[in-house]
Amino acid sequence: MSVDLVLLHPPSVYDFRQKTILHGPVSDLVPSTNVFEMYPIGFASIAEYLERAGYRVRVVNLAVHMLNDRKFDAEKMIRRLKAPVFGIDLHWLVSAHGAIEVAKIVKRCHPDAKVVMGGLSATYFHRELIRYPEVDFVVRGDSTEEPVRRLMDCLKKRSPLDTAPNLVWKDDSAAAKKSCHSELGSESPCPSVKEMPRPRSGHDGREDFPVESNDGRDEVRENPFSHVPVDLGDVMVDHLSNAVRSVIRYRDFAGYAPFKDWARYPITAVPTCRGCTRNCVFCGGSASAYKGFCGRDKTAFRSPQAVVHDVEQIRRFSRGPIFILGDLRQPGEEYAREVLRLFQEQRVKNQVILELFSPAPTELLRQMSRACPNFCLEISPESHDPEIRKAAGKHYSNHDLERTLGDALDAGCGRLDIFFIIGLPKQTPRSVMDTIEYCDSLLQKFKGAKRLSLFIGPLAPFLDPGSLGFEQPERHGYRILFRTLEEHRQALLAPSWKYTLNYETEWMTRDQIVETTYDAILCLNRLKAMHGTISARIAEAGEHRIKAAWAMMREIDDAMASGKYRESPQLKARIDRINAAPVADKLHLELPLGLVKLRYLRSLWSWATGR
């Protein structure tokens, strides 16, 4: 079926099925696997927005197809797809290798089609990204529904591309070439990228000038970064129902599945905003990052009614948990109370997961319980040490944290998830292990509260470009090892996750970060088993995987140090078994569900009626 736009989500490393890579615990605390097959919510939003404008859009999650079937031929599927424009997300930087490789395949199979990329990482690296010959357009920003529509209109009507906001594009017009030659002399070719001064990757909201592309022929144009909406009323209107209808239309469940095991564990996210009010030092989605390269001076919030509408749509086709992204208090407590009032009014039956960015008042926690019975609550103090927590960008005491934990449990919280991170400013190996001791003290303090779930993981594989730590490393104690997009792309092909890390700190080397990570995860796994918060089966699976991965890491290190590292079928088979082993933390994060998880008949009705 021919469509106007195909949106492709690549795996982190395109040929992950052939590569020998020890991925490590970099995806243990998210639903997706270590190839990061979860596509951004923006795909569903863009698809629905363009469908309302009269365009036909199809989403294809290549990563899920490749995970489901080792014989699946991604290039063969791309060749079968018919569209004048292909969109590829480069939202999370971990997709850097796969995104470019998929773009190459699109150009090989459809040389006349246009390739457009977008997402936070595409925005940050837009000047480097546009130089790849496979990339025709980069759409910048965190809200690209309207810029993509304008681009599609320009391509359809063959109108000037300089009218599309936020667009970076290659101008191959005679006028552009003539202008380039007039500056250099009619006999001189345009300068190559090596002759050009290297531009800064980020965006400061003011620059608007041409940069030479890498083929030496096309001039690169940066249209004004003018579309940064504060009112989100016209986006994410019906994106969830539209996705359900599209699954049936194209008979491609895997292509729209958010991640590999979604049918078994259908957790669905509901965003509350674009941007963020907080400034966590390590986060590429912080307030300073959005302002620095997305031009967003002010966080844009969805209305309480829009948030609840999403929940109602999800309830129609899924009995799985619903994750409300972002602390509801960001725009003020009145907003949070209104969302919760509407939840209570709607009598939401799915288990709802709510986030806190800091300790909360007792009454708000009680309202959460009334609005969402048996709700799950998540908070990330990052470290047990308030000084390290402060250095990471969070400012509250352990006393306030523990008060909130107790109040949440007393209010009827069904499960309370607490997350800690390894790789923070001022954090040493000793302080990480002190965090594990603090976890023990929490489990003792709230004795018998098996609803208390504790997790620890590395800041990996990358410290986010655009974050304060990446942009001001000396100030925050980081040493940045990779700066360019291509450096990050190549790092993803390293034999183990240690060599993919793009940073060290003044307090921990990459070796120490990796060793401490395995030590801490292993100790916490044993601690949770001792306190009975995880079963013996899950604890045993976690112990086996951690020990096997730790031993393999050291084996790879020894071979690398001696210059004798060689990939082999035997080594790949061993590493693949470790990568595929059950992840204790992932199993622990899953909430219990009944036998019926998806409402297939209700989904068919939604498709048939358009509701």
Contact 549, 34 (CB under 8 A): no
pLDDT band at 269 (very low <50, low <70, confident <90, very high): very high
For the segment 573-602, the average pLDDT, to the nearest whole number, is 83
- Give first-to-last CA distance, the chain, whole Å: 23
What is the predicted pLDDT for the residue at 191?
Answer: 30
pLDDT band at 1 (very low <50, low <70, confident <90, very high): confident
For the segment 174-199, the average pLDDT, to the nearest whole number, is 35
What does the alpha-carbon distance between residue 545 and residue 577 come to, in Å, rounded to a whole number? 9
For the segment 85-96, the average pLDDT, to the nearest whole number, is 98
Residue 278 pLDDT exceeds 90: yes
Residue 440 pLDDT exceeds 90: yes
pLDDT band at 448 (very low <50, low <70, confident <90, very high): low
Residue 342 pLDDT exceeds 80: yes
Q: 32, 126, 14, 10: which is closest to 466 by C-alpha?
A: 126
For the beta sheet containing 219-222, the strands, ordered from the edge strand earlier in sequence to the opposite edge, are: 57-61, 5-9, 85-89, 114-118, 137-139, 167-171, 219-222, 211-212
What does the alpha-carbon distance between residue 138 and residue 90 come to, in Å, rounded to a whole number? 10
Residue 176 pLDDT exceeds 90: no
Domain extents for the chain? 5-222, 266-485+504-533
Lowest mean pLDDT among 31-35, 279-283, 367-371, 592-596: 592-596
Six-digit token string for 280: 């966590």
What is the predicted pLDDT for the residue at 203?
Answer: 38
Beta strands 167-171 and 5-9 are: unpaired
Q: Which amino acid is at 262?
A: W
Residue 438 pLDDT exceeds 80: yes
How many CB atoms are located within 10 Å of the residue 365 CB? 24
Q: 271, 294, 259, 280: which is closest to 121 by C-alpha?
A: 294
For the segment 383-402, the average pLDDT, to the nearest whole number, is 98
Question: Tens digit of pLDDT for each residue in 292-318?
Answer: 999 999 999 999 999 999 999 999 889
How many CB atoms are located within 10 Å of the residue 597 CB? 14
In whole angstroms, how far apart are CA 175 and each of 182, 193, 488?
A: 10, 20, 35
What is the predicted pLDDT for the residue at 517?
Answer: 98
Residue 97 pLDDT exceeds 70: yes
Top-confidence range, 78-92, 242-256, 587-601: 78-92
What is the predicted pLDDT for the residue at 596?
Answer: 60
CB neighbour burial string for 491-525, b if at least 16 within 10 angstroms, e if fewer = bbebbbbbbbbbbbbebbebebbbbbbbbbbbbbb
What is the predicted pLDDT for the residue at 179?
Answer: 42
What is the predicted pLDDT for the residue at 593?
Answer: 83
pTM exceeding the 0.75 threshold for the entire prediction: yes
Residue 554 pLDDT exceeds 60: yes
* Beta-bridge partners for 505: 478
pLDDT band at 584 (very low <50, low <70, confident <90, very high): very high
Q: Write down the mean pLDDT value for the chain.
A: 91
Six-digit token string for 319: 């009995």
Residue 153 pLDDT exceeds 60: yes
pLDDT band at 206 (very low <50, low <70, confident <90, very high): very low
Residue 331 pLDDT exceeds 50: yes
Q: Which CATH class is domain 5-222?
A: alpha beta
pLDDT band at 238 (very low <50, low <70, confident <90, very high): very high
What is the predicted pLDDT for the residue at 608?
Answer: 45
The architecture CATH gives domain 266-485+504-533: Alpha-Beta Barrel (3.20)
Greater confidence (62 vs 591) lies with 62
Per cent of the chain over pLDDT 70 is 90
| Beta strands per DSSP E along 359-495 | 376-382, 415-422, 452-458, 478-480
What is the predicted pLDDT for the residue at 531?
Answer: 94
Residue 397 pLDDT exceeds 80: yes
What is the predicted pLDDT for the residue at 174?
Answer: 43
pLDDT band at 205 (very low <50, low <70, confident <90, very high): very low
pLDDT band at 610 (very low <50, low <70, confident <90, very high): low
Classify residue 401 as exposed, middle or buried by CB count within 10 Å of its CB (0-12, 13-18, 19+): buried
pLDDT band at 447 (very low <50, low <70, confident <90, very high): confident
